[in-house]
Homo-oligomer: A and B are copies of this chain.
Amino acid sequence: MAERIALIGGTGKEGKGLAFRWAQAGYDVVIGSRQVEKAQIAADELNQLLGNIKNPVTGLQNLQAADWCDIAVLTVPFAAHQAILTELKDCLNGKILIDVTVPLVPPKVTKVQFPPAGSAALEARDILGEGIQVVSAFQNISYERLMDEGDIECDVLVTGTSKDARKIVLALVEKAGMVGWDAGPIENSVVAEGMTSVLIGLNSQYGIHNAGIKITGINRE
């Protein structure tokens, strides 16, 4: 429980939703943003929802947040992915980056379209190099449910550059109230990233908002 978690580009619903869950679980959490004021507004909003907790959420500029943390969680639109990773590379040395990015290319967001690296997480690995563990997770979660403390009817597939890093992130998944699975090496990140386009397509076909996936055939206890 020593981890300090920074949500980079964390003022959107993904970043705020995950920050809410981890702050509630007792982690030290920072929201990062390009503009510190925006980060602080998001942090204040979360603290109001969280009530009296041991470690209130704080807001920092992205670079400072990355510098402060043990684990950085990247929740930016895909268009900002490459630039922000290049900017943060030095601050992240020796740490874990959890990449939540889905490489959606509007307007065809229901069609899987990967970048030349093969996936967003593989692009992150290529940019960050060997000194930083990259883990891919949380792409299929319907973020509306994170802040209302409801059950998340969707499992989390965790892939990453090392088994140890995946293990650390699987513990964070559990602390956030979700069921996670070790889905193998970072090359397998295509599955969860691509699944997001499939789920967006199902949401649109059925007029719903929270299509998800569950792993079957394994005792969930």
The contact string, 1 if C-beta is below 8 Å from chain B, for chain A 193-221, is 01101100110011010111111111000
Determine the chain B residues whose CB is within 8 A of the CB of A201 once the complex forms.
Answer: 182-184, 188
Dominant secondary structure at the A interface = mixed
Partner of A153, one of B197, B210, B211, B216: B216
Partner of A217, one of B154, B183, B195, B198: B154
Name which of A4-12, A60-68, A84-92, A109-117 contacts chain B: A109-117
Asked whether A142 is an interface residue with its Cβ less than 8 Å from the other chain, the reply is yes
Partner of A205, one of B154, B182, B217: B182
Determine the chain B residues whose CB is within 8 A of the CB of A206 once the complex forms.
Answer: 218
Question: How far in angstroms is the closest Cβ of chain B from A80?
Answer: 24
Determine the chain B residues whose CB is within 8 A of the CB of A177 once the complex forms.
Answer: none
Asked whether A191 is an interface residue with its Cβ less than 8 Å from the other chain, the reply is yes
Interface residues in A, total, Cβ within 8 A? 36
Pairwise interchain contact B112-A191, C-beta atoms closer than 8 A: yes
Determine the chain B residues whose CB is within 8 A of the CB of A157 once the complex forms.
Answer: 198
Question: How far in angstroms is the closest Cβ of chain B from A25?
Answer: 23
Q: Which residue of B lies closest to A185 (CB)?
A: B111
Residue from the set A181, A188, A194 with the largest chain B CB neighbour count within 10 Å: A194
Complexed CA–CA distance, A183 and B188 (Å)? 19
Partner of A216, one of B190, B194, B212: B212
Partner of A213, one of B110, B182, B210, B216: B216
Asked whether A187 is an interface residue with its Cβ less than 8 Å from the other chain, the reply is yes
Pairwise interchain contact A195-B187, C-beta atoms closer than 8 A: no
Question: How far in angstroms is the closest Cβ of chain B from A183?
Answer: 5
Pairwise interchain contact B198-A188, C-beta atoms closer than 8 A: yes
Complexed CA–CA distance, A206 and B219 (Å)? 9
* A contacts, CB < 8 Å to B: 110-114, 142, 153-154, 157, 181-185, 187-188, 190-191, 194-195, 197-198, 201-202, 205-206, 208, 210-218
Minimum-distance CB pairs A-B, first 4: A191-B194, A210-B217, A212-B216, A211-B217
